[in-house]
Amino acid sequence: MEKEKFYLTTAIAYTSKTPHIGNTYEIVLSDAVARYNRFIGKDVYFLTGTDEHGQKIQEIAEAAGISPQQHVDKIAGEIRAIADMLNVSYDGFIRTTDDYHVKAVQGIFKKLYEQGDIYKGEYEGWYCTPCESFWTKTQLKDGCCPDCGRPVQNTKEEAYFFKMSKYQKQLEDYIEQNPNFIQPEARKNEMLGNFIKPGLQDLCVSRTSFSWGIPVDFDEGHVVYVWIDALSNYITALGYTVDEKGELYKKYWPADVHIIGKDILRFHTIYWPIMLMALGEPLPKQVFGHPWMLFGEEKMSKSRGNVIYAEDLVRHFGVDAVRYYMLHEMPFAADGTITYETFIARYNSDLANTLGNLVTRTVAMVNKYFDGVIADGGTGGDYDDDLKTTAVSAMAAIEEKMSVLRIADSLDEIRKVINRANKYIDETTPWLLAKDDSARARLGTVLYNLIETIRIIASLLSSYMPETSSKIAALIGADDLSYESATVFGVTKAGTRVGEAEVLFARIDAEKKLAELAAEMAEPEEPEIVPYKDNIEFEEWEKLDIRVGKVLECEPVKKSKKLLRFVLEVGAERRQILSGISQFYSPAELIGKNVVFIANLKPRKMMGLESCGMILSAESDGRLTALTTLGDIPSGAEVV
């Protein structure tokens, strides 16, 4: 019988900078799913790769004085090395700069253009200068800017557009008829409610403002929008082109699941399906938007000193400990956290104490009591049945959890078996049996049962902690870790030799290790600053009108995450300015303070309120500090 196929993908990693552990989570999660599906007998194709085009990459490379290609070669290499280090069992690794991908994307773009799904527009930008925004004709209110009501200017810029709206109904139907298409459930509502139902806008799918991308081959100067480029990877990697669908494509498409971060769900559940509908290809069965891994309460960032890299974790704790933490500690839908403290706590309790110690103590006893030879399991006794049932039935429970991507729960099912085995040792007290010659056969069976249970554990663990799984197998002389063997008790043959008792996961002295880590992190990082801008003339500087204002009122803008609304005293004037610093200040601490602001910046509306000027802040890696004057000075004073 032919094996059922299973195609899964991760998002391709953006090659702007070295990924941290949060970015790495996705590929480990996916790997567990891939390995698991292979384990249960499916024909799996697991794709990952790197996303290497875009303006940001071009800018970073330029700042570093190297070519974009040199930059992405370096980062893509790092990303692949991380995947390899973590034992990720990908079948394909695609880079969007790969030749075949570039050609295939050009073909896709051209086909969509020729069949009219993509059309060349003059970016009929109706531009509102005060608001600095483009509007489409339909968005205008009485021919004026819908935000501020001022007249708009018709600006033209050539660009290609994708007729999203054409497929809106079809997409909506698909989502509703396939309730599991978007996972977790809550995300589905977001997509439907925020984007699809209000009406899809045509998507601008080409750029002319930078060159690091896939050229539109029939129109020089245009580059394919990065998302069209990136999303296509899922099919181009399988050899899809518009002219010839490759063998892999015929076999594996549509994807069984795209595993991606929750932030890019919109691209995968709207743009991507619509692209496929336009190409006449089937849609993926499921898109799973996983949560984020945070450091404590915060997002990881270099300047906060809370970035954790996979490499460091692996160096200190080992690959499988890292995999275990990621797979077990991340909730299904909500963001999870990692800190060194929680990592070590988990490591000690689950891996060192429970799993590692079980294996060690069992093997030690086989060595001690039977010179390393496993006896036969024929002398039954109390507690045997419960142990066997627990071990043999775990697989079914895991299958249930894994079928809905509940990885953490699956690991808990394995833990149940491990706990049961530890308890069995206590119940059967092998050390007492060892003192009683007449109990020798029973002792042999007790140890046999333990070895069998451990063999099943090793089998069950193979999807999640492959290295540990094979280590255990080698230790107990097991050569069959198959799916089938995981549900059968009595596979090990009497007479099999075990190895020397070995510590799988050495217990970690938390205090000592944390001190070690702290010392390591204290090493100064070379400060990186944003590159300087080009010089300007004195007259240009003179155009700016920068003033001091005193904060009279300050309050959060309702519903806004970032904005604070200020009323400044500027001489006799009262001026309202919005500033996006609410994450860094509570309003009370700013009232009465002097701030520095640009007075002659054109007013602009945000969140329904008008902002007349701009309060100056200094920024470092996303953190803002408002500027003020060292000494007190009357408001309205000019900054010169």
Partner RNA sequence: AGCGGGGUAGAGCAGUUGGUAGCUCGUAAGGCUCAUAACCUUGAGGUCGGAGGUUCAAGUCCUCCUCCCGCACCCA
Which one of 108-116, 188-196, 310-318, 387-395 is the stretch in contact with RNA (CB under 7 A)?
Answer: 188-196
Interaction with RNA in 483-502: which residues (CB under 7 A)?
501
Would you count residue 165 as binding RNA (CB under 7 A)? no
Interaction with RNA in 193-222: which residues (CB under 7 A)?
193-194
**Separate counts of helices (H) and strands (E) for the chain:** 22, 26
Q: By rule CB under 7 A, what count of residues binds RNA?
A: 68
Instruction: Please list the residues that pair with 305 across neighbouring strands.
Output: none
Which two structure tokens, joined as six digits, stand for 183? Answer: 């996972």
Would you count residue 533 as binding RNA (CB under 7 A)? no
Would you count residue 598 as binding RNA (CB under 7 A)? yes
Dihedral (C-alpha) 39, 44, 50, 51: value to the nearest 10 degrees?
-130
- Alpha-carbon distance of 460 to 486, in angstroms, equals 7
Would you count residue 544 as binding RNA (CB under 7 A)? no
Would you count residue 111 as binding RNA (CB under 7 A)? no
Place of tokens 């799916």: 483
Place of tokens 């518009």: 242
Least gap, CB of 205 to RNA (angstroms)? 17
- Alpha-carbon distance of 369 to 361, in angstroms, equals 12
Closer to RNA at the Cβ: 4 or 185?
185
Would you count residue 541 as binding RNA (CB under 7 A)? no
Burial 84-123 (b: 16+ CB within 10 A, else e): eebbbbbbbbbbbbbeebbebbbbbbbbbbeeebbeebeb
Would you count residue 353 as binding RNA (CB under 7 A)? yes
Task: Provide the strand spans (E) within 252-407.
Answer: 257-261, 287-290, 293-295, 336-338
Instruction: Give the H or E element holding residue 407.
Output: helix 407-428
Tell which one of 154, 170, 349, 620 touches RNA (CB under 7 A): 349
Burial 306-337 (b: 16+ CB within 10 A, else e): bbbbbbbbbebbbbbbbbbbbbbbbebeeebe
∠ CA 47-265-92 to the nearest 5 degrees? 5
Closer to RNA at the Cβ: 207 or 604?
604
Euclidean distance between the first and the last CA atom of the chain, given in angstroms as a whole number: 81
- Alpha-carbon distance of 206 to 11, in angstroms, equals 21
Which one of 8-16, 163-171, 226-234, 603-611 is the stretch in contact with RNA (CB under 7 A)?
Answer: 603-611
Closer to RNA at the Cβ: 7 or 340?
340
- Alpha-carbon distance of 159 to 247, in angstroms, equals 35
Which one of 99-107, 347-355, 380-388, 475-483 is the stretch in contact with RNA (CB under 7 A)?
Answer: 347-355
Would you count residue 331 as binding RNA (CB under 7 A)? yes
Would you count residue 365 as binding RNA (CB under 7 A)? yes
Nearest alpha carbon to residue 566 among 582, 555, 580, 581: 555
Interaction with RNA in 423-442: which residues (CB under 7 A)?
423, 425-426, 429-432
Closer to RNA at the Cβ: 44 or 615?
615
- Alpha-carbon distance of 38 to 47, in angstroms, equals 14
Least gap, CB of 138 to RNA (angstroms)? 16
Would you count residue 352 as binding RNA (CB under 7 A)? yes
Would you count residue 55 as binding RNA (CB under 7 A)? no
Yes or no: say if 569 and 552 are a contact pair by the CB < 8 Å rule. Answer: yes
Would you count residue 98 as binding RNA (CB under 7 A)? no
Radius of gyration of the chain (CA): 30
Would you count residue 399 as binding RNA (CB under 7 A)? no
Tell which one of 106, 286, 611, 635 touches RNA (CB under 7 A): 611
Which DSSP string do the residues of 285-309 spell out, in sequence order? S-EEEE--EEETTB---GGGT----
Alpha carbon 480 to its chain's center: 34
Closer to RNA at the Cβ: 260 or 615?
615
Q: What is the largest CA-CA distance in the chain?
A: 102
Would you count residue 599 as binding RNA (CB under 7 A)? no
Which two structure tokens, joined as six digits, stand for 189? Answer: 């509502």
Would you count residue 290 as binding RNA (CB under 7 A)? no
Would you count residue 412 as binding RNA (CB under 7 A)? yes
Tell which one of 132, 220, 243, 382 touches RNA (CB under 7 A): 132
CB neighbour class for 298 (10 Å; exposed up to 12, middle 13-18, buried from 19): exposed
Which one of 343-351, 467-475, 519-527, 632-640 is the stretch in contact with RNA (CB under 7 A)?
Answer: 343-351
Tell which one of 60, 75, 458, 615 touches RNA (CB under 7 A): 615
Would you count residue 560 as binding RNA (CB under 7 A)? yes
Closer to RNA at the Cβ: 76 or 590?
590
- Alpha-carbon distance of 30 to 89, in angstroms, equals 9
Would you count residue 334 as binding RNA (CB under 7 A)? yes
Closer to RNA at the Cβ: 267 or 309?
267
Which one of 64-72, 85-93, 103-111, 598-606 is the stretch in contact with RNA (CB under 7 A)?
Answer: 598-606
Tell which one of 54, 213, 356, 444 touches RNA (CB under 7 A): 356
Tell which one of 16, 139, 360, 576 touches RNA (CB under 7 A): 360
Which one of 103-111, 166-174, 246-254, 416-424 is the stretch in contact with RNA (CB under 7 A)?
Answer: 416-424
Would you count residue 620 as binding RNA (CB under 7 A)? no
Closer to RNA at the Cβ: 242 or 441?
441
Yes or no: say if 140 and 152 are a contact pair by the CB < 8 Å rule. Answer: yes
Contacting residues toward RNA, per CB under 7 A = 132-133, 186, 189-190, 193-194, 262-263, 266, 331-336, 345, 348-350, 352-354, 356-357, 359-361, 364-365, 368, 412, 419, 422-423, 425-426, 429-432, 501, 503-507, 557, 559-563, 578-581, 598, 601, 604, 606-607, 611, 613-615, 622, 624
